[in-house]
């Protein structure tokens, strides 16, 4: 049985839709089965929700400064390790407003919506979202591509796991998010769940 929009409680369904459903937990074999979930989500709502996490532009930059140590950020395949490099690059090329928006999407706050969706899927089964055990694979990976048409395309990736109340891993999640901050109606969120 596939999950449809009405099966996931707590997330307003007018803001997202399932593109590819997930399997019912009871139907999952106990081997290395995979669940794939793909959502299209309203980009403007996603951005508005993220903005509520910050009081002003300085709070965005302060959070980015804390988060940049825990993530890997690449702009057009060049690794960036300093907050000032991101701010200066996007301020010069696109202006202060865009620099603040880019910085905001580079913070861990961009993981709130995907984690909320996962919670709404797995929470009713008494399962919880957690970091993976392997520290080398925990990184929040961000790739930003600037196109010739001045689009700013984000690809965000993070490995998570779903655990039971005893901390046992139910499955590992590969999270993937894509959007263009300059020209987006929707963003795509995909989850790939592999059972251990």
pLDDT at residue 41, as a whole number: 85
Residue 21 lies in a domain: no
Averaged pLDDT for residues 21-48: 61
Q: Please tell me the pTM assigned to this model.
A: 0.80
Residue 27 lies in a domain: no
**Domain total of the chain:** 1
Stronger pLDDT, 25 or 178, i.e. the higher one: 178
pLDDT at residue 185, as a whole number: 85
Residue 4 lies in a domain: no
Residue 191 lies in a domain: yes
118 has a pLDDT exceeding 80: yes
Residue 5 lies in a domain: no
Residue 20 lies in a domain: no
Residues 94 and 41: their CA atoms lie apart, in Å, by: 25
Residue 6 lies in a domain: no
Range of the domain at 85: 32-195
85 has a pLDDT exceeding 90: yes
Residue 165 lies in a domain: yes
19 has a pLDDT exceeding 60: no
Averaged pLDDT for residues 150-165: 93
pLDDT tens across 164-183, in order?
999 999 888 899 999 999 98
């Amino acid at each position: 049985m596939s999950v449809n929009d009405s099966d996931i409680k707590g997330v307003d369904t007018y803001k997202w839709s399932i593109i590819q459903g997930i399997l019912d937990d009871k139907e999952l074999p106990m081997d290395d089965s995979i669940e794939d979930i793909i959502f299209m989500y309203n980009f403007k709502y996603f951005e508005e929700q993220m903005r509520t996490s910050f009081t002003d532009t300085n709070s965005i930059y302060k959070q980015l400064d804390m988060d940049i140590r825990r993530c890997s950020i690449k702009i057009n395949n060049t690794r960036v390790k300093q907050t000032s490099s991101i701010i200066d690059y996007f301020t010069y090329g696109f202006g202060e407003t865009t620099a603040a928006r880019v910085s905001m999407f580079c913070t861990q706050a961009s993981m709130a919506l995907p984690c909320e969706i996962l919670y709404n899927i797995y929470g009713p089964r008494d399962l919880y979202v957690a970091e993976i055990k392997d520290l080398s694979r925990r990184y929040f990976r961000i790739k930003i591509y600037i196109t010739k048409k001045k689009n700013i395309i984000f690809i965000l990736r993070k490995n998570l796991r779903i655990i039971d109340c005893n901390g046992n891993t139910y499955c590992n999640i590969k999270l993937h998010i894509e959007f263009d901050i300059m020209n987006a109606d929707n963003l795509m969120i995909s989850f790939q769940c592999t059972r251990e």
